[in-house]
Amino acid sequence: MNAQPARPCLIFNPMAQGGKASRFRSHPDLPRGQIVLLATAAAGDARRLAAKAVREGFRTIIAAGGDGTVNEVLNGICDVPDGLKVARLGLLPLGTVNVFARELRFPLRTGPAWKVLAAGRERTIDLGVADFQLNGAPCRRYFVQLAGAGLDSRAIELTEWEIKKKFGPLAYVYAGLKALREVKPVITVQAGRTLAGEWVAVGNGRYYGAPLAVFPKARLDDGLLDICVLPKTGFGTFFGALAGLPLGQIHRFCGAQQHAAATFTLTASSRAVLQLDGENVGELPAALSLQPKALRVIVP
């Protein structure tokens, strides 16, 4: 690797939140001349640019965008041998939901976020690992906050870009209601005990899909992934889950089963998509695990 550049590298998705991420460059708090800006042009660019930045010696890689951009930048860092040892992850939350940023209690406004990045305080957290199938071939990908299969990954498939651009997080709710009408595969979790249902949610932290604590006992550095399984996903269950989420008691309203494990597998009775950090990446079967305290991230 080259000698360490003095400036951090910031990778941004110009399309995040309807183009908001392309407008942050005019923000008065932007430390011009102190940061290298790299814009993505297509899906996968953030991963490629992050890997290139690490190889060129950058030691702070900032993901500006939503959770999908964060995931791509993370995987770019991981693509480089010893990338996790030499580079740390920063956030500039500009996405639709920003689940990981909310988990870290990171400021969602650009000015305060710049101040957190400038201070450079670090925290070391666990890193999620998913091994799955992509186009029939084995694939490994990392995640910071969440994973899932079943209702939520199908809703992501059904979410239309124009609706998401116009209505933000409500686009996922609308797509979820459409997914409820379909016949859904049964997903089996093997995690020391066997769980099965039509929706499996996995959390490294407390929040899942919104600032609602699906996993109220989860911690980013406890060495465990928390699992929530809904046996059935009808309309009654769906609205029961919505009622329980604000209270951090989803199991009381919709029959959800909860468990925690360091490693486990997911299989499905028919085609089921796997999502990581809110983006669909492949299909089941999948093995999920953790690399304890493997990722350095800038925090408030």
Q: Where are the domains of the chain?
A: 9-120, 128-293
Closest CA to 27 of 112, 88, 100: 112
pLDDT in tens, the chain (300 residues): 455 565 899 998 776 655 555 566 666 666 666 788 999 988 889 999 999 999 999 999 999 988 999 999 999 999 999 999 999 999 999 888 899 999 999 999 988 999 999 999 999 999 999 999 888 889 999 999 999 998 888 877 767 666 666 656 666 666 667 767 777 899 999 999 999 999 999 999 999 877 778 898 999 999 999 999 998 876 666 666 666 665 666 665 667 889 999 999 999 999 999 999 989 999 999 999 999 999 999 999
**Helix (H) / strand (E) containing 196:** strand 194-197
The sign of the torsion formed by the CA atoms of 172, 175, 207, 266 equals negative
Hunting for tokens 């919505």 — which residue is that? 242
Mention the CATH class of domain 128-293.
mainly beta
The CA radius of gyration of the chain, in Å to the nearest whole number, is: 19
CB-based contacts of 96, cutoff 8 Å, min separation 6: 16, 17, 66, 164, 168, 169
Mention the CATH class of domain 9-120.
alpha beta
